[in-house]
Structure 1
Amino acid sequence: MPRKSAGCFPPDRARALQAMWRCRYPSWNVRSCSPCAYQDGIKKLQIGDASRIDVAWSARSVLSAADSMDLGFLPLPQRLALNYAPERIRAQTAALFALDARLGELVAKANEPLLAQLRLAWWRDELSKPQEERARGDPILDTLGETWPGEEHALIRLIDGWEQLVGAAPLPGSALESFADGRAGAFAALARLAGEPSAEEIARDAGRVWALADLAARVSDDQERQTACRLAEGQEHRFPRLPRALRPLAVLRGLAHRALLLGGAPLVTGRRDILAALRLGMIGR
């Protein structure tokens, strides 16, 4: 029986890995190669522009509870992270990312603060009702009702956090803290839904780092960017391993850490960030 060199994949594992890459990333070309370690295999990827990556497969693979949601509007970091959600928790993860993205759109696109607050209030009111009394027809709200039972309070705090960003720049540090706490609480709730209550605090820290890094990358006010980076300084180097079910959170946490090291840069800008997301998704760090 031929020996395997240390750190190498057996031939069947290497072929399976190549097939997975071709399936998930059609624009990536994986050359035929002999069995190789992850570090060698990753060098054989020829990656084009990050904006051309086809991540629509992730939306098609979401469980039936979330099939009605259009996930094409998710920001690229969230779409990449969702690729690594196990099937048993994919619908919950997709619903959370979709709600967060929808709330972000409401805040960013509202011409008047009052209009944004009214729309956020609608989401808060609906999630405060029993599932059978909620409005029907919104795919995200319907999916949350099926996949987030008993954790609506965390989603309401997420809404409250987004509402803190409604106002004139520069926003105070307390508003940015509240926003980060809202996302952090939602990540902790996702850990509970995944059956990983022991990972709640790690997930909470991951959500906080991601929230502040994402905010720093989005805001146009330099003072707000500096405040967000400063608030993240105490946590950005904490990287306890997250359970496999929470691998999407590990991807976002890792991308956020890289962005903070660059002073609040966008989380995904090119091939190195895509490679980092691939590594984080496969091995968790």
Structure 2
Amino acid sequence: MSNDPERALALTYAPAGRRPALAALLALDDALGDVVRTTTQPAIGQIRLAWWRDSLKRLDSAAPPAMPVLEALAAHVLPLGVSGARLAAVVDGWDVLIEHEVLDEAALREFAEARGGMLFAIAAAVLGGDAERAASPGEGWALVDLARYADDAGVAERAMALAGVSLGQSLAGVPRALGLLALSARLDRAGVPHGGPKRAARLAWFGLTGR
């Protein structure tokens, strides 16, 4: 996702002073996703995620190690009132994908709430928006992202179905940068192709109007 032009577009709608914070949060999500995607042995994957969980919590009491993601969070997110312990909660969402052998509806909801819901709520608070309203679009965003890369067609289908509920809610009160990410997920779910004029026009209109 780090090279996603639509994410780059979304970042431009974050207030300039808060843009590095949103970029740091999304980079954390990328890093955790990389752990899960490259894990072949669940036990090793859980150890790697536990390292991230512990490292994020330690940001509350110590300087970050020489790792760009942690350094960026310490520099741009923690000064805005977000604790490392709260950031560590996002790890739990990714951990669901390793812990559960079967990603049924309950597991997918748990994943969506802890990954996307928590990430968007934190990001909304950082951007000066309504954290509670941002959580649901964040859940949908996480589910669509999972569905796009899932090897199991059944998991992808269940994730897309659940995402429809979360993404169907109004984006009023959600910071525009996060709204653009949620809208991008809506368009993915609707099968609107990337790079096409219809998609570009819809994103541009939302960027201008927030609708």
Q: TM-score range by the shorter chain?
A: 0.7 to 0.9
* Count of residue pairs the alignment pairs up: 206
**Kept after mapping to 2: 8 A contact 1:95/1:144:** yes
How far 1:134 sits from its partner (Å)? 4.5
**Percentage identity across aligned positions?**
31
How far 1:230 sits from its partner (Å)? 2.2
Moved more, 217-226 or 77-86: 77-86
- Greater RCO between the two (CA within 8 Å, min separation 6)? 2
**Kept after mapping to 2: 8 A contact 1:81/1:277:** no
Matched, 1:210 2:136: no
How far 1:193 sits from its partner (Å)? 2.0
Paired residues for 1:1-285 under 5 Å: 73-149=2-78, 150-166=82-98, 170-182=102-114, 183-196=116-129, 199-242=130-173, 246-262=175-191, 269-271=194-196, 272-285=198-211
Please tell me whether Structure 1 or Structure 2 has the larger radius of gyration of its CA atoms. Answer: 1
How far 1:130 sits from its partner (Å)? 4.1
**Kept after mapping to 2: 8 A contact 1:74/1:101:** no
Q: 1:282 to 1:121 in 2, by over 3 A?
A: same
SS in structure 2 at match of 1:166:
helix
Q: State the one-letter code of the partner of 2:195.
A: G
Moved more, 107-116 or 167-176: 167-176
- Determine the C-alpha separation between the residues in 2 that align with 1:145 and 1:175: 31
Indicate the structure with greater helix content: 2
- Determine the C-alpha separation between the residues in 1 that align with 2:186 and 2:101: 25
How far 1:137 sits from its partner (Å)? 0.9
Q: TM (normalized to structure 2)? A: 0.86
Q: 1:73 to 1:260 in 2, by over 3 A?
A: closer
Q: What are structure 2's unaligned runs of at least 5 residues? A: none
- Determine the C-alpha separation between the residues in 1 that align with 2:10 and 2:16: 13
- Determine the C-alpha separation between the residues in 2 that align with 1:74 and 1:155: 23
How far 1:122 sits from its partner (Å)? 0.9
How far 1:157 sits from its partner (Å)? 1.7
Q: What are structure 1's unaligned runs of at least 5 residues? A: 1-71
- Determine the C-alpha separation between the residues in 2 that align with 1:77 and 1:109: 24
For the aligned residues, what is the CA RMSD?
Answer: 2.3
How far 1:85 sits from its partner (Å)? 1.5
- Determine the C-alpha separation between the residues in 2 that align with 1:170 and 1:207: 22
- Superposed CA offset, 1:112-144 (max 9, x none): 222221111111001112445254211110111
SS in structure 2 at match of 1:239:
coil
Moved more, 210-219 or 270-279: 270-279
Q: TM (normalized to structure 1)? A: 0.65
Moved more, 224-233 or 147-156: 147-156
